[in-house]
């Protein structure tokens, strides 16, 4: 199942620099592992924002929830998830 996900990050401006660096390193490692596994095939930065659009490819709504709630930045994000379905006019299989 494919999902379009928008993630907006809102880190506290007064967050300790070392804590922030460690958090971002864990986030990067987690998301890159999911990319290697094929569960996160696309990620794009939204220009001018601390946000991204991603496509997730997982087996269920429960799995997408588990994947997103496992993000180290989850508590600092606003996330919008949209399940996707094949469009009848798409010429690709």
pLDDT value, residue 36: 98
Rounded-to-integer distance, Cα 10 and Cα 58, Å: 26
CB 68 within 8 A of CB 82: no
CB 23 within 8 A of CB 72: yes
Instruction: Report if residue 32 sits inside a domain.
Output: yes
Instruction: Report if residue 13 sits inside a domain.
Output: yes
* pTM of the full structure: 0.91
Q: How confident is the model at residue 67 (pLDDT cuts 50, 70, 90)?
A: very high
34-44 pLDDT per residue, tens: 999 999 999 99
- Strand, helix or coil at 24? helix
Instruction: Report if residue 92 sits inside a domain.
Output: no
- We report the CATH number of the domain holding residue 68 as 3.30.70.1060
93 pLDDT exceeds 90?
A: no
Instruction: Report if residue 93 sits inside a domain.
Output: no
The residue range of the domain holding 32 is 2-84
Of 75, 82, 67, which is closest to residue 31 (Cα–Cα)? 67
Structural domain total, the chain? 1
Give one DSSP letter per residue of 59-90, joined into a string. Answer: S-HHHHHHHHHTSTTGGGEEEEEEEE---TT-
């Amino acid at each position: 199942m494919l999902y379009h996900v928008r993630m907006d990050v809102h880190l506290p401006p007064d967050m300790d620099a070392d804590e922030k660096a460690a958090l971002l390193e864990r986030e990067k490692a987690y998301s890159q592992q999911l990319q290697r596994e094929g569960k996160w095939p696309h990620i794009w930065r939204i220009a001018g924002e601390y946000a991204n659009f991603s496509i997730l490819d997982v087996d269920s709504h429960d799995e997408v929830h588990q994947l997103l709630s496992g993000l180290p930045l989850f508590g600092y994000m606003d996330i919008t998830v949209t399940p996707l379905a094949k469009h009848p006019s798409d010429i690709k299989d």
